[in-house]
Amino acid sequence: MERISWHQYFMAQSHLLAMRSTCTRLAVGATIVRDKRIIAGGYNGSIAGGEHCIDDGCYVIDNHCVRTIHAEMNAILQCAKFGVPTAGSEIYVTHFPCLQCCKSIIQAGVKAVYYAMDYKNHPYAIELFERAGILVEQVPLVGNALDPTSPGKRDLMNEMLNELECNGIEKEKLQIFKEKVKELF
């Protein structure tokens, strides 16, 4: 079995954290890492004990939900709460950080930002990251990173496709199946 890369490992963690999000508009997860060790994680949601968007709807002002704390901030605040230094760390986020999170990441001393998907990438945030000398790199999550059985499933599907071809399935149908398998993996 082939091991996933460190980038994929930490990005998968961020995607897993996003599954805890209580925001109905966008689920985001963030993982703070130092020396290849996870030091904090966060997802976008309401304050502890507060009303959640999934229960009471979003509280939107100026097209922005003010009920939630962003994933990056939740992770940084977790470090602050428990006295864990963030200087020199890296953060893995499912989406490009907003302008406010960008400024907080810089102030926290994070040295690198890895994000999976573009999301309203603010030009000023990009400029601030550059000025601060912070590495910013897009690291899309590989489709099968969260499924360690994926290679075996892909092999089985390819074996089945070969068997269908040997048994004389119509070429058009076979091509459709091949495209569907390709989409899955």
CA distance 119 to 131: 21
Does 51 participate in catalysis according to the annotation?
A: no
Amino acid 184: pLDDT: 67
pLDDT tens digits for 141-158?
987 655 555 566 666 777
Q: What is the pTM of this model?
A: 0.79
In terms of average pLDDT, the best of 59-63, 91-95, 170-174 is 91-95
Write out the H or E segment, with its range, that includes residue 155: helix 150-166
Contact 128, 102 (CB under 8 A): yes
Average pLDDT, the chain: 89
70-92 mean pLDDT? 97
pLDDT tens digits for 171-184?
888 788 777 777 76
Alpha-helix residue ranges (DSSP H) falling in 39-145 = 53-56, 71-82, 99-107, 123-131
The catalytic position among 51, 72, 127, 183 is 72
Secondary structure of residue 55 in the 3-state scheme: helix
Which residues touch 40 (CB under 8 Å, ≥6 apart)?
Answer: 31, 32, 75, 76, 78, 79, 84, 86
Please determine, for residue 159, whether its predicted confidence score (pLDDT) is greater than 80: no
Secondary structure of residue 150 in the 3-state scheme: helix
CA distance 66 to 58: 8
Please determine, for residue 47, whether its predicted confidence score (pLDDT) is greater than 60: yes
Which residues touch 159 (CB under 8 Å, ≥6 apart)?
Answer: none
pLDDT tens digits for 16-36?
999 999 988 899 999 999 999
Amino acid 179: pLDDT: 79
